[in-house]
Amino acid sequence: MIFRRDRFGLGQKDAPPAPGASAGLPRFAVDATDDIGDAAQGMHARSPARARLALADALSASQPVTSRERLAGRIDTLAALIAAIEQQRAHVVLYGERGIGKTSLVHVFAETAREARYLVLYGSCGVEARFDDMFRTFASEIPLLYHADISPTADETEHNRSFADLLDEQPVDPRELADLFQKIVGTRVILVLDEYDRVADPAFRRDVAELIKNLSDRAARVQLVLTGVASNLDELIGFTPSIRRNIVGLAVGPMSEPELSEILARAEDATGLTFGPDARNLIVKMSAGSPYLVRLLGNRAAGRTLDERRDQVSGPDVIAGTEAVLAEWNAGLPRRVQSQLARPEVRGAWPMLIAAARASGTPDGWFGLHDVAAEANGADTSTIRRTLDGFTGEIDLFDREDGLDGREPRYRFRTQGLAQLLGLSAALARAGR
């Protein structure tokens, strides 16, 4: 990549704010209507403000990737997903850890399927999701012109109608819906149910399983793609033998180091900044397979680089940026937890807490003594038990649930975000060595 020193107007100062009463108050750097495009190619990229905006765009950790050009790696998973849909005509469940890239993958898959003339409908599930609402909405987005009984030369009125117009007032029933979807001709429909793990209503899950079974039995031209946080297929859809053979489960695992590096390379192209070898290595190592962390740490480090009007992100930028992230995460914890973390008995048990943090990477966060032992090389389970039990009383970092019939208890961090903080602080400590 070629870098021009003048890209950010290095050495020049931004224009001073116009005088006036509110001059000291912060403003947005760039208009929302501005299209920054690919900053590296545009003349617009000269100002630091624009480089910053390009950075926010290229390395935002809060938004999924939505286009093919932005997706790094994941070639095998995307290929497996396409094959499951196209060749196996199966329904697909994508599962993996929080923030590992399920939504991004499914958006890019949707774009790819639309190019092949599939009708892809996307729905994000919430805690409150109801089967009736969700599938009525889907049906309303399928034009009635795809109905076997409607002639393609039908008059104008038919053009504006959808499959939802054929549903009655009663709550949508999965069998009735499958009958309706069986009538689809002239296209294939993919219904994406993202964040499926969040659905709280067991009836919703039961109805979705029933729908999958009925669609498969009828060989309807509708396929479901479900995504959610889980470590295996059963966790997400429950053990339902009747639909098992109609479903392909695909794990979305940690990204490889070259794939993570690719995320940074794309950000370099978009911003004109470069990540030095040290910086790149630190970010990739500390992120441990998580594209979310690459973006978060990369963004912070690059932000500091821009602040200092430099063009190459260095190792110290990464360390300082990561420390800032940790400080923010810490500040986001309840006061009580912050002060507990500072206590000497907690500090003394730090390595054990970090092992517990690693063991807690399960979807529901519960873990057992053996899970911690596997992460804490050498520690025996009775020591681990004593330590963890010590933090379920006055210092209450963990919830404990006693096992039945003399089985081991299980534990869970009481405070959301604490395990993530411990994990990153351990990664930073390792990187600093």
Tell me: does residue 98 bind ligand ATP (CB under 6 A). Answer: yes
* Stretch of 96-104, 182-190, 234-242, 399-407 lying at the interface with Mg ion (CB under 5 A): 96-104
Q: Considering beta carbons, is residue 134 or 263 the nearer one to ligand ATP?
A: 263
Minimum distance from CB of 55 to Mg ion (Å)?
23
292 in helix, strand or coil? helix
Q: Considering beta carbons, is residue 299 or 425 the nearer one to ligand ATP?
A: 299
Tell me: does residue 55 bind ligand ATP (CB under 6 A). Answer: no
Q: Considering beta carbons, is residue 220 or 273 the nearer one to ligand ATP?
A: 273
Distance CA 225, CA 286 (A): 31
Contact predicate 223/85, CB 8 Å: yes
User: Could you tell me which of 180, 190, 141, 183 has the C-alpha nearest to residue 162?
Assistant: 141
Return the residues of window 219-278 that contact ligand ATP according to CB under 6 A. Answer: 229, 263
Q: Considering beta carbons, is residue 48 or 321 the nearer one to ligand ATP?
A: 321
* Stretch of 36-44, 59-67, 139-147, 342-350 lying at the interface with ligand ATP (CB under 6 A): 59-67
The packing angle between helices 131-140 and 174-181, to 10°, is 10
- Give the total of residues touching Mg ion (CB under 5 A): 1
Sequential DSSP letters for 141-167: TSBGGGBTTS-TT--HHHHT-BGGGGS
Distance CA 227, CA 232 (A): 11
Distance CA 188, CA 38 (A): 34
User: Could you tell me which of 160, 394, 431 has the C-alpha nearest to residue 316?
Assistant: 431
Tell me: does residue 73 bind ligand ATP (CB under 6 A). Answer: yes
Among 58, 72, 180, 352, binds ligand ATP (CB under 6 A): 72
DSSP H helix total and E strand total for the chain = 19, 10
- Residue 292 partner contact from ligand ATP, Mg ion, none using kind-dependent CB cut-offs of 5 to 8 Å: ligand ATP
Distance CA 106, CA 111 (A): 9
126 in helix, strand or coil? coil
Range 252-280 burial, b when 16+ CB lie within 10 A, else e: bebbeeebbbbbbebbbebbbbbbeeebb
Return the residues of window 184-213 that contact ligand ATP according to CB under 6 A. Answer: 195
Q: Considering beta carbons, is residue 120 or 263 the nearer one to ligand ATP?
A: 263
Tell me: does residue 103 bind Mg ion (CB under 5 A). Answer: yes
- Residue 100 partner contact from ligand ATP, Mg ion, none using kind-dependent CB cut-offs of 5 to 8 Å: ligand ATP
Rounded to 5°, the CA angle 144-146-148 comes to 100
* Stretch of 97-105, 216-224, 363-371, 398-406 lying at the interface with ligand ATP (CB under 6 A): 97-105
- Residue 226 partner contact from ligand ATP, Mg ion, none using kind-dependent CB cut-offs of 5 to 8 Å: none
312 in helix, strand or coil? strand
Residue with the two structure tokens 């190792």: 315
Paired tokens of 267: 């950000």
Minimum distance from CB of 227 to ligand ATP (Å)?
7
* Stretch of 149-157, 175-183, 290-298, 418-426 lying at the interface with ligand ATP (CB under 6 A): 290-298
Tell me: does residue 318 bind ligand ATP (CB under 6 A). Answer: no
Tell me: does residue 100 bind ligand ATP (CB under 6 A). Answer: yes
Range 172-193 burial, b when 16+ CB lie within 10 A, else e: bbbeebbebbbbbeeebbbbbb
Q: Considering beta carbons, is residue 76 or 156 the nearer one to ligand ATP?
A: 76
Tell me: does residue 84 bind ligand ATP (CB under 6 A). Answer: no
Distance CA 400, CA 54 (A): 46
Among 50, 56, 104, 353, binds ligand ATP (CB under 6 A): 104
Minimum distance from CB of 297 to ligand ATP (Å)?
12
* Stretch of 99-107, 113-121, 171-179, 315-323 lying at the interface with Mg ion (CB under 5 A): 99-107
* Stretch of 39-47, 93-101, 356-364, 408-416 lying at the interface with ligand ATP (CB under 6 A): 93-101
Query: CA 229: distance to chain centroid?
Result: 9
Distance CA 323, CA 365 (A): 25
432 in helix, strand or coil? helix
* Stretch of 1-9, 92-100, 357-365, 387-395 lying at the interface with ligand ATP (CB under 6 A): 92-100
Secondary structure letter of residue 398 according to DSSP: E
Return the residues of window 337-366 that contact ligand ATP according to CB under 6 A. Answer: none
Q: Considering beta carbons, is residue 226 or 424 the nearer one to Mg ion?
A: 226
Kindly list the residues in this chain that would bind Mg ion in the complex (CB under 5 A): 103
Kindly list the residues in this chain that would bind ligand ATP in the complex (CB under 6 A): 61, 63-65, 71-74, 98-104, 195, 229, 263, 291-292, 295
